[in-house]
A and B are shown apart, each in its own frame.
Chain A
């Protein structure tokens, strides 16, 4: 899932600028589960802004609401009135939600309240770690289910490097060395031959390096929808 964190209050206030009427928009999916921008967080942020700006003598009128999924425009249909009544819309959805809102309501000023950080999973309450880099050509089948693109600091495909320290990454003792994990796993699975093969250079063109990506599924397209260039 997508993991994000709230920006600092100072940064958010800077982004709000002079706008007096602020609408905080939360999202009920990923950012709810990582406690960054769900209904509760949106409510607390709205209250915080209201109280803080009043204390500082420049009160803002801040309201909030939450949509189920901020990234899908159908869920944004219902909030048109509240958006039009606001000077600034402060989205506490992930970066995708912010952009979807901004695109849907192109006359509105939409600013982000979160820093969207990575795709990852919770390890324990309050701790999330990066697990996927969306490289577009998944190698998990040959690395024992551990991703070297997301979890190796140098994205090695023929790791580990010489910096592994007691199974930890040289850059941070709290980070497990991904290649130590891969080594241990492949050893348990008796698939060490995968380690001895030299993995050739990665085709990064399927990742973000190849440009912003788009997927078109012809099997899902509805009759009457415009054909994209790929389908012609």
Chain B
């Protein structure tokens, strides 16, 4: 007998830990050996590698258009899965009967093991029915979303921009966009190299949708974008806004440290000192504590020295410098 049953998130204690000391030791020995023979590779990508990457990217695009996305049938479970939902823009082939094309619907060995097991991690009384998604939470509807947004959801940002420009323009879309739509516009602007438009959209989220869950991350992104454009004052305010919107957020400590950096970049040493002292008070064991302490001492002991702007790199974020 089978049914559809709830389960909660995967508890951490069910997951295997892979950080055994011996394994880490082996990994380090391997890495150290490789680094000792080839220390610090050059960043320049050989032309052949670039060609290979471009070919691969093309292949990915072509491949993504052919991929069926229907679920693997799990006949061993005793019930045919219902038809898969079809996210925006997805090309879904009809699900073949599992018996007629067994080779086309490979099942993992694990799927077989499921059949005889009772799967219920939470006591039944604790299982809650999921509430119907609110309009704000619901995924963008394929039917109702504007074409540009569907393209943006699919990661086709250039095409999304073309669609936007053909239908009133990017700036017009900003005017009555929801916070989610504004974030999509930010994605489009960033992906197409339009920092100023991204900043405009981010400002709009922070100023007009301050209560929206997107607002803190928008403030964080705004700070980064402004810092990249060397608007240190604006960036400092944006990082302050992040902390105001999400005091316990994952990046609250980073945001305050970035405020110190931005104030130092502006040469506003008094303000930087106050922020630094606040950082040391709020995060006495923070990752930036030692260097902020050192900066503070340097500013205090050598009042004539310029703000340490040359030592700061701007636009930092946890994903800064990621290979694209």
A, B bound:
no
Q: Interface residues, chain B, CB within 8 Å of chain A?
A: none
